[in-house]
Amino acid sequence: MRIESESTMEAHFSRRLFRFWQLQHGFESPRYLLKWLILSTLIGIVAGLGAILFYGAIHIANSWFIEGIIGYTQPSPAGEGATSVMSFWSSARPWLLPVVTTLGGLVAGLIVFTWAPEAEGHGTDAAIKAFHEGTSIRARIPLIKLIASAITIGTGGSAGREGPAAQISAGFGSILANILHLNIQDRRIALATGMGAGIGAIFSAPLGGAILAAEILYKDDLEVEAIMPALMASIVGYSIFGAYSGWHTIFSVPTNLAFSSPPQLLYYVVIGILCGLIGRFYAHGFYGITHQFHRLPLPGWLKPALGGLLVGLIGLVLPQAIGMGYGWVQVSMGVGLLSLPLWVILLLPFVKILTTGLTVGSGGSGGIFGPGMVIGGMVGAIVWRLSYHVFPGVPEIPGPFVIVAMMALFGGIAHAPLAIMLMVAEMTGNLSLLAPAMIAVSIASILVGKDTIYGSQLNSRADSPAHRLQMSFPLLSTLAVRQAMSELKLWFSPQQTVAVIELQLADEVLIGAPVIDSEGNLQGIVTLADIQTIPIDQRSQQTAQEIMHTHILTIDADAPLDEALEQLTSARVSWALVVEQDYVTSSQKTLGIVTAASIAQLYRQILAGEAQETRLMLSETRFS
Local structure of 594: helix, strand or coil: strand
Question: How does residue 135 score in pLDDT terms, banded at 50, 70 and 90?
Answer: confident
Percent of the chain scoring above 70 in pLDDT: 90
Is 398 domain-assigned? Answer: yes
For residue 555, what are the β-bridge partners? 578
Question: How does residue 23 score in pLDDT terms, banded at 50, 70 and 90?
Answer: very low
pLDDT of amino acid 620: 57
pLDDT of amino acid 554: 83
- Asked whether residue 1 carries a pLDDT value surpassing 60, the answer given is no
Is 218 domain-assigned? Answer: yes
Span 499-521, mean pLDDT?
Answer: 81
Indicate whether 402 and 507 sit together in one domain.
no
pLDDT of amino acid 18: 44
CB atoms within 10 A of CB 24: 19
Indicate whether 448 and 515 sit together in one domain.
no
pLDDT of amino acid 472: 60
Higher-scoring residue by pLDDT: 260, 30: 260
Question: How does residue 4 score in pLDDT terms, banded at 50, 70 and 90?
Answer: very low
Nearest one of 428, 135, 410 to 286, comparing CA atoms = 410
Residue that is last in its domain, among 463, 496, 512: 463
- The angle formed by the CA atoms of residues 12, 16 and 22, to the nearest 5 degrees, is 145
pLDDT of amino acid 14: 44
For the CA atoms of 599, 600, 603, 608, the dihedral, rounded to the nearest 10 degrees, stands at -150
Question: How does residue 471 score in pLDDT terms, banded at 50, 70 and 90?
Answer: low
- Asked whether residue 623 carries a pLDDT value surpassing 50, the answer given is no
Domain containing residue 103: 22-463
- Asked whether residue 121 carries a pLDDT value surpassing 80, the answer given is no
Residue that is last in its domain, among 418, 437, 463: 463
Question: How does residue 376 score in pLDDT terms, banded at 50, 70 and 90?
Answer: very high
Higher-scoring residue by pLDDT: 13, 185: 185
- In contact, 207 and 243? CB cutoff 8 Å: no
Question: How does residue 28 score in pLDDT terms, banded at 50, 70 and 90?
Answer: low
For 587, phi then psi, to 5°, come to -115, 165
Is 380 domain-assigned? Answer: yes
- The Cα 376–Cα 280 span in angstroms is 12
Alpha helices in 70-161 (DSSP H): 97-115, 123-133, 141-154
Length of the chain: 624
Tens of pLDDT along 397-415?
Answer: 999 999 999 999 999 999 9
pLDDT of amino acid 406: 96
DSSP 368: S
**What own/partner pairs with CB < 8 Å and gap ≥ 24 does 138-144 have?**
138/171, 139/171, 139/175, 140/115, 140/116, 141/116, 141/167, 141/171, 142/50, 142/167, 142/168, 142/169, 142/171, 142/172, 144/111, 144/112, 144/115, 144/116, 144/119
DSSP 224: G
Question: How does residue 615 score in pLDDT terms, banded at 50, 70 and 90?
Answer: low
Is 12 domain-assigned? Answer: no
Indicate whether 298 and 257 sit together in one domain.
yes
Q: Assign residue 493 the CATH number of its domain.
A: 3.10.580.10
Indicate whether 413 and 523 sit together in one domain.
no
Question: How does residue 120 score in pLDDT terms, banded at 50, 70 and 90?
Answer: confident
Indicate whether 458 and 484 sit together in one domain.
no
Lowest-confidence segment of 120-134, 267-281, 332-346 by average pLDDT = 120-134
- Number of folded domains in the chain? 2
Residue that is last in its domain, among 430, 463, 496: 463
- In contact, 166 and 127? CB cutoff 8 Å: yes
Helix (H) or strand (E) holding 554: strand 554-556
Question: How does residue 289 score in pLDDT terms, banded at 50, 70 and 90?
Answer: very high
pLDDT of amino acid 613: 58
Indicate whether 546 and 455 sit together in one domain.
no
Indicate whether 227 and 362 sit together in one domain.
yes
3-state secondary structure 282-333: HHHHHHHHHHHHHHCCCCCCCHHHHHHHHHHHHHHHCHHHCCCCHHHHHHHC
- The Cα 324–Cα 75 span in angstroms is 10
Which DSSP string do the residues of 511-524 spell out, in sequence order? SEEEEE-TTSBEEE
Indicate whether 211 and 261 sit together in one domain.
yes
Indicate whether 146 and 70 sit together in one domain.
yes
Indicate whether 266 and 203 sit together in one domain.
yes
Among 45-59, 462-476, 520-534, the range with the most confident prediction by mean pLDDT is: 45-59
Is 396 domain-assigned? Answer: yes
Q: Assign residue 80 the CATH number of its domain.
A: 1.10.3080.10
For residue 458, the number of C-alpha atoms closer than 13 Å in the C-beta half-sphere is 18
pLDDT of amino acid 617: 53
Nearest one of 195, 187, 59 to 135, comparing CA atoms = 187
DSSP 549: B
- The Cα 555–Cα 592 span in angstroms is 10
Indicate whether 423 and 526 sit together in one domain.
no
The two beta strands, 575-582 and 554-556, are parallel
- The Cα 331–Cα 55 span in angstroms is 21
Tens of pLDDT along 431-457?
Answer: 889 999 999 999 999 999 999 999 889
Question: How does residue 106 score in pLDDT terms, banded at 50, 70 and 90?
Answer: very high
Indicate whether 489 and 447 sit together in one domain.
no
Is 624 domain-assigned? Answer: no
Is 249 domain-assigned? Answer: yes
- Asked whether residue 157 carries a pLDDT value surpassing 70, the answer given is yes
- Asked whether residue 284 carries a pLDDT value surpassing 90, the answer given is yes
Is 594 domain-assigned? Answer: yes
- Asked whether residue 200 carries a pLDDT value surpassing 60, the answer given is yes
Span 257-284, mean pLDDT?
Answer: 93
pLDDT of amino acid 20: 46
Tens of pLDDT along 562-612?
Answer: 778 877 877 777 778 888 866 555 566 778 888 888 888 888 888 777 656
Nearest one of 353, 344, 407 to 375, comparing CA atoms = 353
CA end-to-end distance (rounded Å), the chain: 68
pLDDT of amino acid 473: 65
Percent of the chain scoring above 90 in pLDDT: 47
- The Cα 274–Cα 405 span in angstroms is 9
Span 45-70, mean pLDDT?
Answer: 94
